[in-house]
Structure 1
Amino acid sequence: MTSSATLHRRRSASRRWRRALPFVAPFLVLFVVVYLIPTVYAIAQSLFATKRSGLGLGAADVQFVGIGNYLRAFQDPGFLASLWRVLFIGVIQVPVMLALALLFALLLDAAVSTGKRFFRLAYFVPYGLPGVIAALVWSFLYAPTLSPVVQAFHAIGIDISFVTDAALPFSIANILTWAWTGYNMILLYAALQAIPPEVMEAAALDGCSGWRAALRIKVPLIRPAMLLSLVFSIIGTSQLYNEPVTMKTIAPNLPSDYTPIMAAMKWLSSNDFNYAATLSVIVGAIVCVLSVFVFRASAKRVDA
C-alpha cells in the first residue's frame, strides 16, 4: 500500500512538472543563455592570461594562470580603490533612498492623503528617464561654469564645487537617490496596498492609527518588499557606471577606474579581456555574498 501511494505521488508530481514545463521553459532558456553561459564563460576566461614574448611585440600566447588574475586584482590599487568608492557611495545612498521611498509610500497609502495619482506619478517620473539623461541633467547643475546653483552661491560669496574629489561620491549618490527613489517607492506602495483592510480596521479599533499604525503595523508587514528593495539597491549600486562616466565631462579629476565596472571596461578597451573578466567575476561574487548575507540576516531576525 505504501509503495502504491509513493508511486502515485511520483506520477502526480511528474504530471505537474510536464504541465508546468511549457510555462517555465522560456524563462529557463533565457536564464541559461543570458546569465548562466556568460557567467561560466567569464569565469573560464578569468583563469587565463594573454602573454607576449619579447618586449610585448611578439605573438600573443594565451596561458592558463589559475588564480593569478585574482591575485593581481587584489593587489591592484586602482581596482581596490574603486571597490571602496562604490562601498562608500552605497553606505551613504542606499539607506537614504530606501528611507525616502518608505516615507513617500506611507504618505501615499495614508487614508487622509489627497492627490495620490499626481504624487505617485511625480515620484516615479525620475525613474522613467534614462540614466544617462538624468546624469546629463545633474551634470549641468554640477558644472562649475554652468551650474545656476554654483553661480547663486558665488553671488553671495560662497565658493562651492560639486566635482571635487571629496564631493564626487555625494554628487553621484544624489543622482542615484533622485533616479531610484520612485522605483523603490512603487514597490513598497504596492506591498502596502496588499495589506488586508481588516488589519488596519482592527488596529484603529484598538486606538492605533496615524504614524503609530504605520510604523508598528504597516512597516513590519512589508518587510519582504523592503528586503527586496534593499537587495535590488545593492545590485544596482555595484553596477554603477553611467553616472560617473557622464560626469567625466565636468570632472576631469574623475579617474577612468572610478568604479569596478569602469575598471573592467578600462582593461577591456586595452584588450586585456581575461583581466576584465576577472574583475567582473569578483564584482558578481561580492554582490552574491552581500545579497545572501542580507537574506540570512533577515531570516535570523524573523526567527528570533
Structure 2
Amino acid sequence: MTVLAPTPGTQAGGRTAPGAASPAPRRRRRRGLAGLALAAPFALLLIGTVLVPIGYAFYLSLFTERLSGLGFDGPRQVFVALENYWRVVSDGAFLASLGNVALYALVHIPLMLGGALLLALLLDSATVRLRQMWSLAVFLPYAVPGVIAGLIWAYLYSPNIGPLSAVLPFDPLGRSGVLSSIVNMATWQWMGYNMIIFYTALRAVPREVLEAAQTDGAGPIRQALSIKIPMIRSSAFVALVFTVIGSLQLFTEPVVLRTFTGAVTSTYTPSLYVYEAVFISNDYGRGAAASLLLAIASALLSALVMRLSARRSR
C-alpha cells in the first residue's frame, strides 16, 4: 500500500499545520486586491471629475473679492463664510430663475416622457412596420447638437423670416410664449432619446406573458396599461431622474434664444444665473455658491424620485 506524504503546511490527517497560512484567507485577500484594482479607475475618475471640483467650488464660495483701503491696491479675497449663500437665496433674480425652471419642468417632463412612452408603445406593437426606420427618425433630433438645434428653432420662431410666428396664436419669442418655445425645443430633442430607453425595456418584456394576456382576451391597450408599463417601471424612473436633473440644468435653449429676444434675461435659469455671476460679473464666490445650491437641489430631487421608485417597487 502506497502512503501519500502530506503536502507542505498540512498534517497527515489533512488538517492545516499550526502556523501555516490557510488557503481560504489568501483567496479572499487576492479577491479583495482584484476588486480594488478594478474599482481604482472609477474611483480616480470620481475623485478627479466630481469630488475635487465640488470641493474647490465650496472653497470659492467661502470668499469674495473686495476693495481694500481706497481701492488703489485692487480687490483682495476676503473670507465671508456663508455670506455668499445668503446673497444667492435672498436674490430675487435667483428665486425667479428657480420659478422659471419649476414651471418648465412641470410642462416639459410629463409632455416629453409621456410622448416618448407613447411612441415606444406604438413601435413595440405588432401593427407597426419598419420599426428601425421609425425609431431612427424619432431619434435623429437627439443627434443634432443642441446649439445648432437652438439656432434652427430660433429662426423658425423669428417674426421676420420664420414661418411659425405667423401660424401660432401667440408670439413664440414674447414674454408669454418664450417658455413654451423652450419646452418645445427641449421636447423635440430629448423625446427620441427617452423613446429608445423605453423601447429597449419593452423589448425585454417576456413575449409569453403578452401571449397569455392576449389569450385571456386582453387587447393592446389593456396589455400596455396592465403589463408593459408596470414591467418597465424601473426604466421609467431612471429616465425621470435624468430628466429632472437635466431640467434643473437648463442652459442651451435659453442662451441661444437670448440673442433673438429680450424675454430671456441673463438670469432666466439657475445655470444662466451662475454663468452671469462668474463670467460677466466676475463674482466667483456668488457663482460657486449658486452652483452648489443647484447641485444640492438636484441631489435632493433625485433622491426623492428614487425613494418613490423603491416604494412603488415594494
Residue 105 of structure 1, aligned match among 113, 120, 132: 120
Alpha-carbon distance in 1 for matches of 2:25, 2:202: 39
Aligned equivalent of 2:180: 170
Residue 259 of structure 2, aligned match among 249, 260, 267: 249
- Which amino acid letter does the alignment assign opposite residue 297 of structure 1? L
2:200 is aligned with 1:193: no
Aligned equivalent of 2:16: none
Alpha-carbon distance in 1 for matches of 2:105, 2:25: 47
> Mean alpha-carbon deviation: is it higher for 30-39 or for 122-131?
30-39
Aligned equivalent of 2:192: 182
Residues 51-74 of structure 1, C-alpha deviations (whole Å, 9 max, x = no match): 212565543222222211111111
Whether the aligned pair in 1 keeps the contact of 2:65 and 2:76 (CA below 8 Å) is yes
2:286 is aligned with 1:271: no
Alpha-carbon distance in 2 for matches of 1:74, 1:232: 25
Residue 39 of structure 1, aligned match among 29, 54, 58: 54
Alpha-carbon distance in 2 for matches of 1:89, 1:57: 46
Of Structure 1 and Structure 2, the greater helix share is in 1
Deviation at 1:11, TM superposition (A): 5.7
> Between Structure 1 and Structure 2, how many residues are aligned?
292
Alpha-carbon distance in 2 for matches of 1:138, 1:99: 22
TM-score (norm 2): 0.88
Deviation at 1:290, TM superposition (A): 0.3
Superposition CA RMSD, Å: 1.9
Aligned equivalent of 1:4: none
Deviation at 1:121, TM superposition (A): 0.2
Deviation at 1:16, TM superposition (A): 3.0
Aligned equivalent of 2:151: 136
> Mean alpha-carbon deviation: is it higher for 56-65 or for 169-178?
56-65
Q: How does 1:1-304 map to 2 (within 5 A)?
A: 13-54=28-69, 58-152=73-167, 160-269=170-279, 270-303=281-314
- Structure 1 residues 43 and 211, CA gap change in structure 2 (3 angstroms): same
- Which amino acid letter does the alignment assign opposite residue 311 of structure 2? K
TM-score (norm 1): 0.90
- Which amino acid letter does the alignment assign opposite residue 86 of structure 1? V
Alpha-carbon distance in 2 for matches of 1:73, 1:10: 54
Aligned to 2:259, the other structure's residue is in SS state coil
Whether the aligned pair in 1 keeps the contact of 2:63 and 2:78 (CA below 8 Å) is yes
- Structure 1 residues 9 and 198, CA gap change in structure 2 (3 angstroms): farther
Deviation at 1:8, TM superposition (A): 8.2
> Mean alpha-carbon deviation: is it higher for 266-275 or for 226-235?
266-275
Deviation at 1:186, TM superposition (A): 0.6
Residues 94-121 of structure 1, C-alpha deviations (whole Å, 9 max, x = no match): 1100000000111111122111011100
- Structure 1 residues 197 and 35, CA gap change in structure 2 (3 angstroms): same
Alpha-carbon distance in 2 for matches of 1:115, 1:109: 11
- Which amino acid letter does the alignment assign opposite residue 274 of structure 1? G
Residues 29-80 of structure 1, C-alpha deviations (whole Å, 9 max, x = no match): 2111111110111112112222212565543222222211111111111111
- Structure 1 residues 64 and 193, CA gap change in structure 2 (3 angstroms): same
Structure 2 gap segments, 5+ residues each: 1-21
Structure 1 gap segments, 5+ residues each: 1-6
